[in-house]
């Protein structure tokens, strides 16, 4: 049977506090190096299509299922709409 407490005890024995701090620092450095200037990269063609669909569905309720015209499910389009509301001027963060 799966016992999370047993696994947690094994992990605590395997890694010291210094190891955990080192891993956390490595993760922070990794994400910082990957996220710098991320918004400077161009979006790909299909990403632009999905963002345009989301903008259309956001502004015109009769086009909520616009992605079905291309045979795609609308969940991604609907999931993109809240991010377009948060970041209306940045297509990369919005999409």
pLDDT at 93 over 90: no
Residues 31 and 57 in one domain: no
* Residue 43 contacts residue 51 (beta carbons within 8 Å): yes
> What does the pLDDT read at residue 25?
98
- Which has the closest alpha carbon to 51: 62, 37, 66, 69? 66
**Judgement on whether residues 75 and 32 belong to the same structural domain of the protein:** no
* Same-domain status, 11 and 31: yes
Q: Which residues contact 68 (CB under 8 A, 6 or more apart)?
A: 74
pTM listed for this prediction: 0.59
Domain that holds residue 29: 4-36
**% of the chain exceeding 70 in pLDDT:** 93
């Amino acid at each position: 049977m799966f016992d999370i407490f047993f696994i947690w005890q094994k992990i605590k024995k395997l890694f010291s506090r210094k190891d955990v701090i080192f891993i956390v620092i490595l993760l922070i450095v990794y994400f910082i190096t990957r996220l710098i200037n991320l918004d400077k990269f161009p979006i790909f063609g299909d990403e632009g299509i999905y963002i345009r669909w989301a903008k259309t569905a956001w502004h015109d309720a009769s086009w909520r299922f616009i992605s079905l015209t291309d045979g795609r499910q609308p969940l991604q389009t609907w999931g993109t709409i809240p991010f377009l509301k948060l970041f209306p001027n940045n297509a990369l963060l919005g999409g």
